[in-house]
Each structure stands twice: as structure tokens, then as C-alpha cells.
Amino acid sequence: MTAKPDISLIASLVGDPARAAMLTALMSGRALTAIELAQEAGVTQQTASSHLGKLDEGGLISIEKQGRHRYYRLSGPDVMAVLEGLTGLAARSGHLRLRTGPRDPALRRARVCYDHLAGDLAVRMFDRLAARGLIRHEGEHLHLTAEGEQFAAGFGIDLAALPKGRRPLCKGCLDWSERRSHLAGGLGAAFLSRFEALGWARRTPGSRLVTITPKGERGFAEQF
């Protein structure tokens, strides 16, 4: 008998409305408490704890303990990629929650996707990097070219200091609102950190929204 991945288990974990709301809240890349996630899901803290236990057992979230406090976050970028893909599928299929508001267009323009930039601005940045030959597809893989390495270094990114491991340096991530790729992987995260350090972008507490400053608007126009 051959063992096969059980996608039905993952689907059942993500498919519950309360758990889906919690996972969506964690797509900001920030660690949240059970109380905060209970508020996001509209359930009691006791119910939230039960849901979080199931998500932890299923490998979708990880738990960080600091003193008496417990914080929850997505267990990795692969979970984020699945959630982002499902969000795009839901939008394309017309399955939308009626919670749009003034922030919705802003989220489509620039938001955080786990730890990298997403939205229209990120897609245009990806396209520009590809057009200039700074990143290149080789089969299914995305690579940073020698010219790309020089550009990243000139932009203030120390490639040698990026964490090594299973996570790729460059990876295309399908953007749910634009339905084209933006830059993920270690380099995508490094770019977002650099944008914040330069004062180009500001994260909005408690939200995935990324605000581009006037300085950032000029910088993006010049560089990307």
C-alpha cells in the first residue's frame, strides 16, 4: 500500500469558517494571541483555543511562548501560499465575504503576504525585475541573475546574510488580487524589510495593509 498526502485533512481544517478567519488574520505574518484570533473569528476564547489546537495538530500554525503568553503564527510560507491561492480561487469563483470597505482598494494595491510585499505594486515590481533580466525563470524555478545580485547589493540587501535553509532565495507567489506573480522567498522578504528601513513603506498594526509613503512612491517609480 502506498501512502499518499491526505489533502482532505488540510481542506477540513481550512474549510471551517472560524478557522479560516483565524488563518486569514495570520496571513499578516504577525504572531497573534488566542484572544485576538477569537475576536477575528467572532467566537469565544474557549472555542478559539479548540480551533487553534486542531490547526496546531494539523501543522498549519506554530506556537511561540513568552512567559505566560502564547502567540500563534502560520507555520511557514507554504501555508501562506496555499491560503493566498485559495483566496484567489474564491475571488475568481465569486465567493466573496461582504466585508469590503475603504481599505479594500488599498489592500489590493499593497499588502503584506506572510513576510513579503503583495498587491498591484508588488506585481509591477516583479514584472520590472524580470524585464530587466534581474530575475529569470529556468523551468519551474526562479533565479536571481548576476545582474540581479548587483542590483540587490546596490539596493542595500546583503544576500550572504539571508537565512539559508529549505526556503528558496527567489520564488514567484501567485497574487490573489492581480492573479499574476509577485516576489516571495528570502529575497522578497528582504525587499520588504528594506522598503521599511528606507521609509518607503509602513505596516498598519493589526492589518495586512502596507502604506507607501510619498518617498516610497518616488522610489518605486525610479527603481521599478
Q: pLDDT for 183-209, tens place per residue?
A: 999 999 999 999 999 999 998 877 788
pLDDT at 145: 95
pLDDT at 105: 81
pLDDT at 95: 60
How many C-beta neighbours within 10 Å does residue 205 have? Answer: 8
What are the structural domains, with CATH classification, of the chain? Answer: 7-75 (1.10.10.10), 79-223 (no CATH)
pLDDT at 205: 78
| Ranges in the chain, pLDDT < 50 | 98-102
CA angle 65/207/159 to nearest 5° reads 70
pLDDT at 96: 56
Give every CB contact of residue 58 below 8 A, 6+ residues apart in sequence: 9, 10, 13
DSSP 164: P
Listed in order, strand segments (DSSP E) in the chain are: 61-66, 69-74, 111-113, 116-118, 135-138, 141-144, 171-174, 181-184, 201-203, 210-212
Q: Judge whether 63 and 70 are in contact, CB under 8 Å.
A: yes
Radius of gyration, alpha carbons of the chain: 18
Angle between helices 7-15 and 17-26 (to 10 degrees): 90
